[in-house]
């Protein structure tokens, strides 16, 4: 799956705050994601995150 810095991800499951939108802060073996609802930053394994992605919105540059 092609996930890049700055992509906005919509996940299948909601964060405890209720938000499903995340922005990618770092990529690699892990993703660093920031919740767009509450601002919480988390590190999650790439394999686990890719299973949970519903859609990717990319900023055209």
What domains does the chain contain, in order, with CATH numbers? 8-55 (2.30.30)
pLDDT digits (tens, 9 = 90+) for 4-27: 999 999 999 999 999 999 999 999
DSSP secondary structure of 11-33: ESS--TTS--EEEEEE-SSEEEE
CA distance 2 to 57: 11
Q: CA–CA distance from 34 to each of 6, 39, 40 (Å)? A: 10, 6, 6
Q: Which two structure tokens, joined as six digits, stand for 49?
A: 């995150």
Cα(first)–Cα(last) distance of the chain, in Å?
A: 19
pTM for the full predicted model? 0.89
High-pLDDT (> 90) share of the chain, %: 92
Reported residue count of the chain is: 61
């Amino acid at each position: 799956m092609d996930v890049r810095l700055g992509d906005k991800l919509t996940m299948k499951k909601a964060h405890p705050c209720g938000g499903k939108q995340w922005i990618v802060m770092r990529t690699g073996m892990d993703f660093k994601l920031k919740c767009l609802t509450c601002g919480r930053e988390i590190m999650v394994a790439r394999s686990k995150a890719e299973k949970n992605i519903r859609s990717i919105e990319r900023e055209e540059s």
